[in-house]
Each structure stands twice: as C-alpha cells, then as structure tokens.
Structure 1
Amino acid sequence: MATANTFHHPTLGSIKGILRDGLLRFTNIPYATIPHRFARSSLLQQLPRTASTSVGNGLHDAYDATGIPPASIQPFDAPANEVKGCQIPPEILDGFHEEQSEDCLRLSITVPAHARPGNDLPVLVFVHGGAFFLGSTTRPYYDPSTLCRQALEQAEGCVFVGVNYRLGALGFAHLPGAHSVPENNGLYDQRIAFEWVRRFIAGFGGDAGEITALGQSAGGMSLTAHDYSGLENVWRRRVVFSGSLVTMPVKDGKEKEAEFWSLAEKTGVMGVGVGREEAVEKLKEVDVGRIRDAAGVGLLCVESEMLPYSDASMKRMSTPAAWSNVGDSAGLESQIVSSTTYDGGISYNLMIENKDRKGHAKAFFDIANSSGLSHPQELLDLYNITTTDDDPVALRKICQFETDIGFFAASLAQVSGFPGKSYLLLFDLGSPFEGFLPAGECATHTWDIIAMLGSCEKWLEDEYRTAITDLRDRVLRFSVKGEEPWPAWTEDEGKAMVVGKEGLSVVGFDEYMGAETRRGKMLKLAEKEAGDDGRDLLWSEVCRRFLMAEK
C-alpha cells in the first residue's frame, strides 16, 4: 500500500514522496531551469514550495514530488511505440499518463524508507535511452523499485536517481556562431543533473563520492560521450547497456547548421526577407507543437567543447586504441559494458512496419557491392543473405549483422581499449513476450535494462526471474559495493558473462568470438578488408548506409 510521506532535506527543505514496500520515491524534482528555448540550463539550488505540511510541532512548506513529471517534447505516441519496439507487455502502460513540457528537467529519486541525511548510501544515476528524441525516466518500464528492493536485501540499500533531459530539437539543435543556440544542450543538461546529485544527494542519504552511472542506448552513448570528452565526471564506475559513440551518427558544425535551417523551414519561420537573427528569434518563440511535428533533430554535434573531435575520428570509436586515454581524462576507474545478442531487434521492429522500405535483400546486396569492400560476397555468405530472401527473413539477418558490428564490436572496443578494469556482459535472454519477433528467441535492444530494473517481473516465468535476479545481484555488487561482478576482461582470456535461460555463465574468447563463430568470422573479415579500420568500414559504409536508406 502506498502512502504519502514527508522527508526533510537539510538544504532543500521538506519534500513529499510516496512510501511503498520499504522505499520512498520522489518522482518529480526539478534540478535546473532554462532561461529561454535553446539556452544552456542553469543549476536549480532551491525547490519551489507547493504545499503546507505539518511536520513535528510546526507547519512547513513542502515540495510535492509525488506526481509524474513532464517529459521533454516528443511524439505523443512515444510511450506506446517504445513498448512495442521493446517487445514488452502493453499493459505496463495501463493508467499511465504523462504531460510534455519544455520545462522538463526533472529527477526521480528512490531511497530506502530508513534513509536519513548523512547515511552515505551508494548512488546509482540512470540516463535513459530513446535515440535522443524519445523517452522519460519515470515511464513504468523504467521503474527501479525491484532493483532497489534487492539492494536492500543485500545490505543497507542504495539511492537511485533517474534523469530527464531535453530531447530532439530542444536538446540538440545548433546554429554555429549563434550564442543563443549552442550545441548538445541535452548532454549539458545531464552534466547539470550530475552536478545537482553531487551537491544535494547527501541530504537524501546518498554518498556523492560513490556514484555509479548507468546508461542504456542513447543514455549509454551519452555516458561514453562524457567520458570521452576529457571533462571530469562525478562517477568512477559506470554500467553501459548497448550504447557507444558509434550507436548513432554524429554531425559536424556545417551539418548542424543545415539541420537548423531545415527546422526553421519546417516550422514556417523562414520567409522572404527573413534574416538570420530574425529567424533565430522566431524559432525561439514559435509554438512548440510545430517543433514536435518537424522532428528529425536529435544527433550529437562534434567539433565542440563537449566532443572536440572530427566526424572522421569519431568513426574510429570501434577501434580499441580510441579508448586508451578515457580513464585518465575522465577519472573513470571501472566499467561494465553490455550488449544484447539481438540489439538490431530495435531496427527490425521499426522497419518491419515501414511501408516505404521494401526489397531489403536487394538493397543490402547493392550496398555491399558498392561499398568498396574487396570481399562483399563473404559478408553476404556469412549472414546467409540472398537476393531471394523475402523482406522479414532478409531484415532479420541484416539486423543480426547490425547487432554484431554496431553493438557487439563497439562494446568489445570499449572493454579491450579501456586502461581500467572492464567487465563484458552478453545478454542472451530472449524477450519472453510476443511481438514482431517470436517470443523467447531474441534478446532485443532495451529488454536488458527493463529486465534488470524489474518492471516486468510479475509476468516472468521462474527461469527468467532466476537468471535476472542473479544478474541484478552481480550488477548491484559492482555498483553498490564496488565488487568484481565476474572476472575482468583481459587480452589473454577475454572473459565475458553470458546471461541466458540456463542462468549465468562465464565464458572465454573461443565461445563467443572464436575463429569458428559468426562474430569471430565477421571481425576477421573486417580486419582483412581494412585492418584496424575494418570494423568502421563495415559499420559506416555497409550497415549504416542500409539503416539510413542511403544509396
């Protein structure tokens, strides 16, 4: 049974949360303000007083943090489409409703019911995914209650923080030379959120010196961007689920400028005689619904303070050498890097319903043969792609290639190139729910983080629940206690943890990327094609061209 409960923070004052099953949840805490559209956000150091609550012998103004916070501006049907794409039960959204607002910079914080200021509990901070234009940390499938209760069973528990940040054009539009439209606002929002946690989490019972960052998909890409930027971060450990700097394309300043003017045209602010500054001011004031309808903006900008690299250097992120200085520059000491065995399922689910995309086998065949590969037929044979494959069959095979080159190879680069301790996780527990892909067959993108957080626990059979509970235990021991979750990855043995229906097992190189495995043959082909640059050649010149429908 849930009840309202008022918590007194020594700096922020009284805050109303919801007490349920040994956990106190604050779901709507603002952490920053935005002076105007497209501006950098600023740290919020006080909470607004929204209600009067009797505490002790006096009357105090308490901030009500019990409601569902607004999400960043995005398509209205995003939650339902995410559930469909993640292949989880649609019933998880029953009774859920979420507003949208430009004023969306909110945190959700979950603490043990016994938490008090100064308890020094470990802190987990979660950055959600959604391709930088979808998502919200308080959607039911990201509910961390099961994980937090398991942390309580292990020891004193933890403090779990979920971060909302600006998405789409509001978070990632950029016009070079225009001070009022800086680049990568969504990433800077995240930095402000972590700074807020560093300053105020002790008042919730958390230890600001023991922060582990968790990110999935675009959230994982965000963490890798922060760690690769050279800027100091507040976390020393991180867990990255299927997210790296090759997960999505990046754009340079010229491309972001073209994108900005396209946005101006789509929203109707451009016209005869409208100059640069006038267009900027009009776009800052146009009804936000037009920006939502325009869509299409949500990619990181390089050659910036956050990512001072060229697009060409970013394409080498699946090369282990690219990660050799990350620990020194960002302060990162250890990491778990994970990918699912069918991360390409997210592309499959998106494209299988796309009536504008047909003839997948022929399209991929043409791209492979025009990509500059010396051995295109070897790639086609490895994934058994033939021009006679019908669309669902061809797409299933192509998305397996996407999984291997765009997710697994990138994860491998992050663990093999990183100078600190790395732990490789291969999530091979197929989603048990019906969807576009057969139930139980495919460990799809996002199912791993949803499973670990535990929002779907009540629908799982015992074999699933046992494997996931064991995984959750390992990740918590790493995040909460700083313990080794399984043997660290080394060049000599390449140990990895595999999660499947049979449970958890530690395996070596030969079992997941040996010479006779599909992954091993794909990596060997990449090396034969272009040496150290071969992985990026297969990713950018073959796989990404197909996914982006490029000729």
Structure 2
Amino acid sequence: MPASTGPTASLPVLVFLHGGAFFLGSGSRPYYDPTTFCEQAVKASRPHIFVSVNYRLGAMGFFHSPEASDLMPANNGLHDQSVAFEWIREFIAGFGGDPDNVTAMGQSAGAMSLSIHNLSGRDNMWQRSIQFSGSLVTMPVQSPAHHQQNFLHQAEKLGIETQRQAADAIAREMINVSADKIRDTGYVGLPCSESEMLPYQSASMALTRRRVPTSGALQSQIVASATYDGGISYNMMIGDKGRRQHANVFIQIAKDVLKHPQELLDIYGITKDEEDVAALKKICQFESDAGFFAASRALAQGSGEKATYLLLFDLGNPFNGPLPSKQYATHTWDIVALLGAYEHTLDEIYRASIRAFRDKIISYVTSGQAPWLGWTEEKGTALIVDQKGPRVVGKDVYMGHDTRRGQLLALAEKEAGQDGCDVLWSDVCRRFLMEGE
C-alpha cells in the first residue's frame, strides 16, 4: 500500500492468488514481489492496495473423505481463499481499500482457483478477475469416489488401519497425525467435483464454454496464456532419467486415442525415433496450445455478457535455464514480468515492453475500463505482448487457418466437435505427461 494511505483513502484493491499446482508455493515467494508493479502504479497516479493470499496446499488443503465430510470436507484450500475474501470485505477499508472495487488475480493454480470460484454459482465479491495461465482444466479434478479411495490410501501410508474402521474413525486418527507426516505423503492437491465449490461432475473446456460466470459482482475478466506454458513440464521432464523415447511414446498415445493421429504429428513435426530434447520441446508446445491457449479461448467463449479480454504473452523468458534465453515465453514468467521482481536485470527493450503491458493491467485494475478491445467469436481480438511491446491483433494473426493454433483447433473439431480440445488435452497430453508415473 502507498506509504501515505489512511483508512479513508478508499483505493482500488488487487488480490493475488499464487500458483504451485495446489501443492507448493506462497504469495511471499521472491519472484511474486509486487513492489515494482505498485511503484509504477503510484507514479502513474493510480495507487491501489495489493493483497497476497496464502491457502492450504496438498494434503492439508485437499484431503477429503465424502464418508466423513464433517471431519474432512472437500476443497479446504479453496474455502481458505473464500475466507480471505470475506476478511477483505470486512477489513480492507481500515487499510485504505475499497471493498466494492476489487480485482482478483491468479496465476496457474491461482488462476484455476478463480475459474472455479467464477463458475461455482456463488456470488463472489470481486468486480474483475485476471487469470494468468490457469483455467478449470489446468489441474485434474477428482470425483468424491476418487477422493475416498485416495483418503484410504493415504491413511494406510500413515499406518492407520482402514479395513476394520469406519471413515469417521480413520479421519479422527488422521487428524491426530502430525502435520509434517501428512505433508510427507507428497499428495498433490486435487479439487473435488460434485461439491459446493465445484457443482459439476467433471471439469472440461466444453463445460467452461457453456457455464457462464454467475456472480452478480463480476463485470469483466482478462484471460491469459503464455506461448510456452508447457515449459513447466519441459523443465520437470528434461532431467528425468526414467523417461526416454518421448517421440515414440507420444506417437503411440496419439494413435491409441485419435482418429487422425498423423495430422497432430504433422502440425508439430514430431517424427519416430526423434531425439528426446527436440521431441520434448515440440510436445510441450502442444501442451501449451491444447491445455493453456485453448482453455483461455474456452473461457472467453463461455463468458456470456461478462466482457472478456484475451491476452497472449509471447515475450521470451530472458533468464538462463533448461531452455535457451529469450526464445520461450514460459509458464510463470508472465506474472514475474508483470509484478517486476527482477526488472533491474532486464535490457531496455524488455523493460519498455513490460512497462507498457503493466500500464494496461494497472489501468484495468484501478479504473475497471476496457484495457483493449474485448474478445468476440467473430473478431477474436487479443493483446499480444512480445519484444515489440503490447499490441492488439485479430484472430487471424494468432489462430488463423494457416497458423499452428488454427490447425490444432481444426483438428480438435474434426476429432470430437465441442469436446475435441478436451480429447487433445486430457486424453493425449495428460496421458503423455503421466506416462512415467
């Protein structure tokens, strides 16, 4: 918050939900430091209050037994977020914030959280939402039956007898286990469907397109993806010595699942016996297009009367790592660039592009005015951010018939109509990503 802010300031409020696959992370991680973002806002005479929210993760946030739901309810991590927003509604005015002028911003799992909240049927308090590289399908959603199976499995790992005890008794024993031991189970938090927070049987892009956000407070949203969101999978898999022959594994999955597998392989240039590093880069580009870009587009398609603005972040990650510097706009780099933690290390071209991009987001957060032309099915207007700076383009530029994304969307339609993108994402890409587990 600006240093001079008093309780009567009534400034706009930006609330941030961090990423980390519902398993790790926190809003206070150094790369989420919002100081640069907030300073630029003050210099532009657009001060606001920035609030970062933590929530329970992994086992602590998502263990659930539908047979003992009073003791181990569904989606505690998501309910933590709701409690945080209730706290903001009640107390933010004392910090100089306006509880009736709130933007909720999430990245990755945080963005998926916002999708869940926006599609829950509940009346949320935020007027605007910004979702960076996260949607209803970013992480798998499990049924109550699957959560019950997992609950019993994790209890056995903790040495709890499950064969001769009712679920309530098992839950009580689990509650008495130390938090460290529960965390050591390594459970990745998976939200539960058919619940208060997720009142649907399964999560899909098809569902996103037909389930319009119902919150009366929500007026508009920005939905965003990075050109190489699949970089997070590349970084995890490239050093996994147990995973080999990526091209051959992917080709076999495509043949098992698709009616037209060769078309998918041709779009990404994936060939039999291709060297692993090259193949994995191509497969993770497919992941980026099928699981992140297509999901953002589905959010835009299902927005109803809520104004929606599509953002495509294509500024290459400038830092050295498993991928070459400045060639790939990777997962998480978009929010890091926006918040500005390492801006002092960037060259002037990068700084100028990011500052111009940041100006648009700051203006949207503080004024609520349209940051660029809204998305429509006919024009498909989007903001692209790259080394040339942010610029508005029509759909022919980023998903025209001759583009990689356009060809993928056409293949999805040919494969399964409205369900085609879900087939490509869930049945092909996720299966490949999970093949070695």
Q: CA deviation at 1:490?
A: 1.7
| Cα distance, 1:273–1:490 mapped onto 2, change above 3 Å | closer
Q: Which amino acid aligns with 1:388?
A: D
Match of 2:109 in 1: 218
Do structure 1's residue 399 and structure 2's residue 284 form an aligned pair?
yes
Distance 1:180 1:275 in 2: 13
Q: Which amino acid aligns with 2:38?
A: C
Superposed, which structure 2 residues align to 1:296-307 within 5 Å?
296-307=187-198
Contact 1:319 1:533 in 2 (8 A): no
Q: CA deviation at 1:269?
A: 2.2
> Among 402, 410, 423, which residue is 2:295 paired with?
410
> Among 209, 233, 240, which residue is 1:321 paired with?
209
Do structure 1's residue 163 and structure 2's residue 53 form an aligned pair?
yes
Contact 1:215 1:222 in 2 (8 A): yes
Q: CA deviation at 1:319?
A: 5.8
Distance 1:123 1:489 in 2: 25
Q: CA deviation at 1:256?
A: 0.3
Contact 1:227 1:330 in 2 (8 A): no
> Among 506, 509, 525, which residue is 2:392 paired with?
506
Q: CA deviation at 1:206?
A: 0.3
Distance 1:519 1:271 in 2: 48
Match of 1:174 in 2: 64
Q: Which has the higher contact order (CA 8 A, sep 6+)?
A: 2
Superposed, which structure 2 residues align to 1:64-463 within 5 Å?
111-178=1-68, 179-270=70-161, 273-311=164-202, 314-315=203-204, 317-318=205-206, 321-323=209-211, 325-326=212-213, 328-329=214-215, 331-371=217-257, 373-419=258-304, 420-463=306-349
Cα RMSD (Å): 1.4
| Cα distance, 1:121–1:225 mapped onto 2, change above 3 Å | same
Q: Which amino acid aligns with 1:121?
A: L
Distance 2:331 2:209 in 1: 26
Distance 1:483 1:156 in 2: 13
Match of 1:516 in 2: 402
Distance 1:445 1:318 in 2: 23
Name whichever structure is richer in strand by fraction: 1
Name whichever structure is richer in helix by fraction: 2
Q: CA deviation at 1:195?
A: 0.5
Q: CA deviation at 1:266?
A: 1.5
Contact 1:221 1:245 in 2 (8 A): yes
Local SS of the residue matching 1:239: strand
Match of 1:31 in 2: none
Do structure 1's residue 533 and structure 2's residue 423 form an aligned pair?
no
Gaps of 5+ in 2: none
Local SS of the residue matching 1:112: coil
1:202-232 Cα shifts (integer Å, max 9, x gaps): 0000000000000000000000000100001
Match of 2:370 in 1: 484
Distance 1:513 1:181 in 2: 44
Distance 1:295 1:174 in 2: 15
1:237-282 Cα shifts (integer Å, max 9, x gaps): 0111001011111000010011111111122223775553332222
Superposed, which structure 2 residues align to 1:11-90 within 5 Å?
none
Contact 1:318 1:414 in 2 (8 A): no
Q: CA deviation at 1:297?
A: 3.4
Distance 2:159 2:177 in 1: 9
Gaps of 5+ in 1: 1-110
Distance 2:16 2:222 in 1: 14
Contact 1:165 1:186 in 2 (8 A): yes
- Greater C-alpha Rg: 1
Q: CA deviation at 1:136?
A: 0.6
Distance 2:187 2:132 in 1: 24
| Cα distance, 1:538–1:272 mapped onto 2, change above 3 Å | closer
Distance 1:418 1:143 in 2: 31
Q: CA deviation at 1:188?
A: 0.3
Q: Which amino acid aligns with 2:389?
A: G
1:47-73 Cα shifts (integer Å, max 9, x gaps): xxxxxxxxxxxxxxxxxxxxxxxxxxx
| Cα distance, 1:470–1:254 mapped onto 2, change above 3 Å | same
Local SS of the residue matching 1:423: strand
Q: Which amino acid aligns with 1:435?
A: G
State the number of aligned residues.
Answer: 435
1:288-323 Cα shifts (integer Å, max 9, x gaps): 222122112300000001111002xx22x2566324
1:58-110 Cα shifts (integer Å, max 9, x gaps): xxxxxxxxxxxxxxxxxxxxxxxxxxxxxxxxxxxxxxxxxxxxxxxxxxxxx
Q: CA deviation at 1:547?
A: 1.1
